Structure 1
Amino acid sequence: MKPAPLTTALVLASLALPAFSQTASGRNAAPAAAAPRAELVVAMPRTYGKTETMGLWGGYFSHLSSCANVSLRNQRGESLDVSTNVDTLAEKELVDSIKTGKAQLAQVNPGLAAQLVVAGHPAPFAVPGDKATGKPNSYHLILISRVDSPYRQPKDLAGKKIAHTTPTSNSGNLAPRALFPALGLTPEKDYEVVFSNGHERSVMGVMHGFYDGAAVASDLYQRMVLKGEVRASSVRTLWQSPPFMTESWVMGKDVPADVQARVRKCSYSYSFSPVLRKMLPGNDVFLPVNFDRDFATVMEVYRKSQAPAKP
């Protein structure tokens, strides 16, 4: 089940190829004129379709192209200045593309960021946030059921089917395995784990009665509500976790240091487009990442997920 497309109005408002967001807000840093132009292959998660992904992030790519003096391309060598054919990859393919050097710039979920850092790749350098407060975007792991179900608290789901998303997802699998046992819900012992292959599929699976409950990221669930794919009044939240860092941006370890510096500087000067602000409420810029602080909870969950299971 693929996510429903953005409304026609949002897509048309956000797409203006080949110069996605050549506005004052997208040009508030001078191009790195003296530096040689570098090529970076971009990889994005398969959260939305290619056109929708470029509708959200095309302005950022255009800003990097001019400000950081980089040529952004897909793995077939097509320039993202003139094409919406961005690579949207499944989680394993996405992280492998960074590890193998097939992609040099990517947006990844927290679980994949942890994998990359442990494997010796650079920590995430940017995360959406609020310029005025300096607060980075975050989300909660939530455990949901249908509002008309008999389930009122987590332990009510004992013996039932709970959807996880994918094995590598932080909020969709690693965090439930680390945090649910304290709620009386040890995966595969107290309930049946069913992998849905995506947060949106987990939510819709609950709504259509395929799963009794689901472990999903609150921000992705809220985007479904904003897009009209699900009514908030139809869903009951049984529990939510402390906050986790949301999707962040990473670069490959083989990207030259001067190019990394240019990309970071220009990322922090980018002002989000109206359509991106609508999809990420309360976020208008990229903020730097303090990995040890911002990803402490993510790394705790990741390490617990890698620990040998107790007999």
Structure 2
Amino acid sequence: MHAPTLPRTLLSTAIAATFTLAALSASANLSSRYTDADGDMVADAPTDEAQWADPDTLIFAYTPVEDPAVYAEVWADFLDHLSEATGKQVQFFPVQSNAAQLEALRAGRLHVAGFNTGSTPIAVNCGGFRPFAIMAAEDGSFGYEMEIITPADSDITRIEDLAGRQLAFTSPTSNSGFRAPSALLASEYGLKADEDYQTAFSGSHDNSILGVINHDYEAAAIANSVAHRMLARGVIEEGDYQVIYTSETFPTTAYGLAHNLDPELAQKIQDAFFDYDWEGTPLEAEFANSGEAQFIPVNYADNWAVIRTIAEATGETYDCQ
């Protein structure tokens, strides 16, 4: 394994209290473009059939990664399955950023997608994203932890050592790559971004991990599920970096669809996720590296509550009218 790590650390009493207070005011913040008649915090399908989308080609996008071509191959078999289940052509869209993925959804150019943890509430509220699935282990457990890592030979061995140093985040919309660690550092350690430590944005967890290993960054906040997959692919090696903090478990990528798809098509898409046989597939080969073996149903209102409260605790809003 990596250099000795700290035991998994739950949110401190101080930051947990902050999140609890924020949770009291957490509510749906859907754009006025959408409605939520059933109160499930996600956009309703249009009631007017004329507004239903039934494209000849479904566009699918997975959350931004360093090398989208790798994941085009990982998802190829599943997308063939999705095509057969829906009777549609399915195209993989290699997005380069969270913003590009959200814009494609909002503009109606993206129909099925996996949005990263922190981007999911933005996609829900600003793009009409309807999450319905998450990857899980065979026993139904799911999630990942945020880790703060430093180079293996770094003298930064505890959170307090970050004062006056540099910490790389991934993007402002990322939960583990920005929101959770910035909230933690400010609330528990009194370290504020760009005041008590320098910040950089790498664009992805892959970039952050490689940046730390190559000494481009002094430290980085990452999702450990990404690191596990990179280790399994041989992109990085055991002991390339040290872990100085591990968070509580968060939900991982949410899979869902655009709110305005024809309901019959939307149901076929959902069924395709839950009917997919992972055994012997590229999807299994890739995601088994982070302990995932199936798709299970997810409830946005419940499963993303902690993510919404983290966002509120850090002053993030979903005002995207």
Question: What is the TM-score of this pair, normalised by structure 2?
Answer: 0.75
**1:132-161 per-position Cα deviation (integer Å, ceiling 9, x unaligned):** x1223x111100112221222111111101
**Equivalent in the alignment of 2:313:** 304
Unaligned runs of 5+ in 1: 1-35, 75-85
The verdict on how the C-alpha distance between 1:169 and 1:101 changes in structure 2, with shifts beyond 3 A counting, is same
- More deviation, 194-203/46-55: 46-55
**Equivalent in the alignment of 1:153:** 158
The 5 A counterparts of 1:38-117 are: 39-47=57-65, 49-73=67-91, 86-117=93-124
The alpha-carbon deviation at position 175 of structure 1 amounts to 1.7
Distance 1:172 1:198 in 2: 8
**Equivalent in the alignment of 1:118:** 125
**1:173-216 per-position Cα deviation (integer Å, ceiling 9, x unaligned):** 12222222213432222211111222122122222222211111
Match of 1:165 among 165, 170, 192: 170
Q: Is the 8 A contact 2:117 2:175 kept in 1?
A: yes
The alpha-carbon deviation at position 234 of structure 1 amounts to 2.4
**Equivalent in the alignment of 1:292:** 301
Query: 1:215 aligned to 2:217?
Result: no
The alpha-carbon deviation at position 253 of structure 1 amounts to 1.6
The verdict on how the C-alpha distance between 1:285 and 1:232 changes in structure 2, with shifts beyond 3 A counting, is same
The alpha-carbon deviation at position 307 of structure 1 amounts to 4.5
The 5 A counterparts of 1:171-182 are: 171-181=176-186, 182=188
Q: Is the 8 A contact 1:205 1:211 kept in 2?
A: yes
**Equivalent in the alignment of 1:143:** 148
**Equivalent in the alignment of 1:12:** none
Distance 1:89 1:159 in 2: 31
The alpha-carbon deviation at position 283 of structure 1 amounts to 1.8
SS in 2 for 1:242: strand
**Equivalent in the alignment of 1:186:** 192
SS in 2 for 1:143: strand
The verdict on how the C-alpha distance between 1:249 and 1:283 changes in structure 2, with shifts beyond 3 A counting, is same
Query: 1:261 aligned to 2:263?
Result: no
Higher relative contact order (CA 8 A, sep 6+): 2
The alpha-carbon deviation at position 63 of structure 1 amounts to 0.9
Distance 1:307 1:196 in 2: 20
Distance 1:307 1:285 in 2: 32
Considering only aligned residues, what root-mean-square deviation do their CA atoms show, in Å?
A: 2.1
**Equivalent in the alignment of 2:232:** 226
**Equivalent in the alignment of 1:270:** 276
Distance 1:274 1:152 in 2: 39
Unaligned runs of 5+ in 2: 1-53
Amino acid at match of 2:174: S
Report how many aligned residue pairs link the two structures. Answer: 260
SS in 1 for 2:109: coil
**1:232-271 per-position Cα deviation (integer Å, ceiling 9, x unaligned):** 2121110011111111212112111121111111210102
- Aligned-pair identity in percent equals 25
SS in 2 for 1:306: coil
The alpha-carbon deviation at position 50 of structure 1 amounts to 4.8
Amino acid at match of 2:128: H
Amino acid at match of 2:192: T
Distance 2:230 2:273 in 1: 27
The alpha-carbon deviation at position 120 of structure 1 amounts to 6.3
Distance 2:197 2:297 in 1: 39
Amino acid at match of 1:103: L
Amino acid at match of 1:265: D
Amino acid at match of 1:178: A
**Equivalent in the alignment of 1:204:** 210
The verdict on how the C-alpha distance between 1:59 and 1:38 changes in structure 2, with shifts beyond 3 A counting, is same
The alpha-carbon deviation at position 101 of structure 1 amounts to 0.7
SS in 1 for 2:292: coil
